[in-house]
């Protein structure tokens, strides 16, 4: 399951967004997860195809893919210097796959801004600087060790020292590790010491309800987009307060409420979709009388590894996969129809999965 951490300065709307998330998650029926931790909220990944498939297969249950959100409140100026609390927040960030960085773009005189006024560029910089300082420390520590390895004649140490120097230079300029490019050998090295600023970031520009309609002309949002474009990050415009209200409604009320606001879908759904896209993830399905289920894999995943997300035995004993595209499945009225038309393929170990593939794996135990 994809794990995303929510960060941002105090009073920007993190808890409001997080509450909307946990509320929405609590209402997703048929959910095989239970509440784990007050700081973790699980939401389904919205996917209309699940309903279509369920309408054809009539399964016992529908299981959507999920995203876990972790509330990482307390990341403030000076966190990287903090011995106790600050470091704890940073270590929570180490454990997530992606960062959702909430940025205050709403004006409200009743809600104090910890840094004075609304200034998304400055706010983003404050948080990013903490992450960069934490990474700088990791890189310096690592550098000392690698220098010793180099003396001992380790060949790879030279490559690594170069990489560390390059990273240090970027950090000194206030740049995140994700703004650099890496060759395969460097990528391999980076796998062994996960940097905070290497994680993909999605900026959530938190707007006031009244500004939402003209979001793309809003100077605060434009600033967030500008920063994001410069570092290859994504942006989602949301109104955390509206999300919190939406999360309280049942399906029928929700549809009415969204229509009144002129919105297609909850911002939360857009947030999840964008996170999926940003992380290069996609979905395949299994569909049978027991359940119709969505599974999350990375773009370019091959069939055996996809099978492995279901069960490690499936990967180990992989023989082949029976695959039909979602479109063919629907067009032919189901698996048998698709088989009659010769549209169900038998694929081997080298098959690269496509988004929407409906799969039945054959394996040895």
Q: Interface residues with ligand GDP (CB under 6 A)?
A: 8, 10-16, 73, 106, 108, 111, 206, 208, 239-241
Q: Is 348 annotated as a binding residue?
A: no
Per the CB < 8 A criterion, the answer to whether 353 and 303 are in contact is yes
Minimum distance from residue 214 beta carbon to ligand GDP (Å): 15
Per the CB < 8 A criterion, the answer to whether 5 and 93 are in contact is yes
Comparing CB distances to ligand GDP, the nearer of 43 and 330 is 43
Q: Is 274 annotated as a binding residue?
A: no
The rounded distance, in Å, linking the Cα atoms of 23 and 72 is: 17
Q: Is 13 annotated as a binding residue?
A: yes
Comparing CB distances to ligand GDP, the nearer of 127 and 359 is 127
Distance of CA 168 to the CA centre of its chain: 27
Comparing CB distances to ligand GDP, the nearer of 23 and 241 is 241
> Which residues are registered as beta bridge partners of 99?
5, 201
Q: Is 15 annotated as a binding residue?
A: yes
Comparing CB distances to ligand GDP, the nearer of 37 and 350 is 37
Instruction: Compute the half-sphere exposure of residue 317: CA atoms within 13 Å on the CB side of its CA.
Output: 10
Minimum distance from residue 65 beta carbon to ligand GDP (Å): 26
Minimum distance from residue 14 beta carbon to ligand GDP (Å): 3
Per the CB < 8 A criterion, the answer to whether 358 and 54 are in contact is no
Per the CB < 8 A criterion, the answer to whether 294 and 63 are in contact is yes
Q: Is 11 annotated as a binding residue?
A: yes
Backbone angles phi, psi at 55, to 5 degrees: -65, -25
Q: Is 14 annotated as a binding residue?
A: yes
SS3 62: strand
Comparing CB distances to ligand GDP, the nearer of 10 and 317 is 10
Comparing CB distances to ligand GDP, the nearer of 242 and 297 is 242
Q: How much is the CA Rg of the chain, to the nearest whole Å?
A: 23
The rounded distance, in Å, linking the Cα atoms of 321 and 361 is: 4
Instruction: Determine how many CB atoms are found less than 10 A away from the CB of residue 328.
Output: 18
Reported residue count of the chain is: 365
Q: Which residues are annotated as a binding site for ATP?
A: 11-16
Q: Which residues are annotated as a binding site?
A: 11-16
């Amino acid at each position: 399951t994809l794990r995303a951490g929510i960060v941002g300065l105090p009073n920007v709307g993190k808890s409001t967004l997080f509450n909307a998330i946990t509320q929405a998650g609590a209402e997703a029926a048929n959910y095989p997860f239970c509440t784990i931790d007050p700081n973790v909220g699980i939401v389904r990944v919205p996917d209309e195809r699940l309903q279509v498939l369920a309408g054809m297969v009539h399964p016992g249950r529908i299981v959507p893919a999920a995203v876990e959100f972790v509330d990482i409140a307390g990341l403030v100026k000076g966190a990287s210097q903090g011995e106790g609390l600050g470091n704890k927040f940073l270590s929570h960030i180490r454990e997530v796959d992606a960062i959702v960085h909430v940025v205050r773009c709403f004006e409200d005189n009743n809600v104090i801004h910890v840094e004075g006024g609304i200034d998304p560029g400055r706010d983003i910089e404050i948080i990013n600087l903490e992450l960069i300082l934490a990474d700088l420390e990791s890189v310096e520590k690592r550098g000392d060790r690698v220098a010793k390895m180099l003396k001992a004649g380790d060949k790879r140490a030279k490559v690594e020292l170069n990489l560390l120097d390059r990273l240090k230079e970027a950090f000194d300029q206030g740049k995140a590790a994700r703004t650099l490019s890496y060759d395969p050998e460097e990528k391999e090295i980076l796998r062994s010491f996960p940097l905070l600023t290497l994680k993909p970031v999605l900026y959530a520009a938190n707007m006031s309800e009244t500004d939402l309609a003209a979001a793309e002309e809003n100077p605060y949002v434009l600033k967030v987009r500008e920063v994001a474009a410069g570092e290859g990050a994504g942006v989602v415009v949301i109104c955390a307060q509206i999300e919190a209200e939406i999360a309280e409604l049942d399906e029928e009320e929700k549809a009415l409420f969204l229509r009144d606001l002129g919105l297609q879908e909850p911002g939360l759904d857009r947030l999840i979709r964008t996170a999926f896209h940003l992380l290069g993830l996609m979905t395949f399905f299994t569909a049978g009388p027991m359940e119709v289920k969505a599974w999350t894999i990375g773009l370019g995943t091959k069939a055996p590894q996809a099978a492995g997300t279901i069960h490690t035995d499936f990967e180990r004993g992989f023989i082949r996969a029976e695959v039909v595209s979602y479109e063919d499945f629907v067009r032919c009225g189901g698996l048998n129809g698709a088989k009659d038309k010769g549209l169900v393929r038998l694929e081997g170990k080298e098959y690269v999965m496509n988004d929407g593939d409906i799969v039945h794996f054959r394996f040895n135990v």
